[in-house]
C-alpha cells in the first residue's frame, strides 16, 4: 500500500519539496536561456538588414542633399545673391535642417533601445506562477 502525504515523515516531505523546487528552478533557467537566445537571434537578424539598408541610404541621402544644396543655391543666385554667398547659405540651411532631423531620429531610436524590448516576459510570468505554487505548498 502506498503512503499518503499524511503518513510520510516530515523529512521526506521537505526533501520532496526541495527536489521539486530545484527542478522547477532548472526548468525556469532553461526557459530564460531559450527566450533570451530567441530574442538575441531575432535582433541580430534585424541588425544585419538594418546595416545594409543604412549603407544604401547614406549614399542616397548624400546625393539628394547635394542636389538640394545646388538647387537652393541656384534659386538664391537667380534672386540676386552672388554665387559664393548663395552656395554657403544653401549648405548652412540644408545642414541645419538635416542635423535637426538626425537628432530627432537618434533620440527616438535611443529611447526605443533603453531595454523595454529585452524584458523576458514569459520567464517573469512563469516565475511568478512558480513562486505562488511554492507559497501554497509551504
By the 10 Å C-beta count (0-12 exposed, 13-18 middle, 19+ buried), 108 is classed as exposed
What pLDDT does residue 2 have? 53
Calculate mean pLDDT across residues 15-35: 84
What are the tens digits of pLDDT across the range 54-75? 999 999 989 999 999 999 999 9
Residue that is written with C-alpha cell 535637426 in the block? 100
What pLDDT does residue 1 have? 45
14 pLDDT exceeds 70? Answer: yes
Domain residue extents for the chain: 36-137
Instruction: Write the Ramachandran bin of 2: left for phi over 0, alpha for psi from -120 to 50, otherwise beta.
Output: beta
Amino acid at each position: 500500500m502506498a503512503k499518503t502525504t499524511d503518513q510520510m515523515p516530515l523529512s521526506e516531505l521537505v526533501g520532496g519539496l526541495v527536489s521539486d523546487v530545484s527542478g522547477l528552478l532548472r526548468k525556469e533557467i532553461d526557459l530564460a536561456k531559450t527566450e533570451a537566445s530567441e530574442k538575441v537571434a531575432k535582433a541580430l537578424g534585424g541588425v544585419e538588414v538594418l546595416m545594409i539598408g543604412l549603407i544604401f541610404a547614406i549614399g542616397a541621402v548624400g546625393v539628394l542633399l547635394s542636389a538640394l544644396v545646388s538647387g537652393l543655391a541656384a534659386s538664391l543666385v537667380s534672386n540676386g545673391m552672388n554665387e559664393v554667398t548663395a552656395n554657403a547659405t544653401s549648405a548652412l540651411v540644408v545642414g541645419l535642417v538635416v542635423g535637426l532631423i538626425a537628432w530627432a531620429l537618434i533620440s527616438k531610436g535611443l529611447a526605443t533601445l533603453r531595454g523595454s524590448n529585452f524584458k523576458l516576459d514569459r520567464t517573469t510570468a512563469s516565475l511568478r506562477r512558480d513562486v505562488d505554487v511554492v507559497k501554497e505548498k509551504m
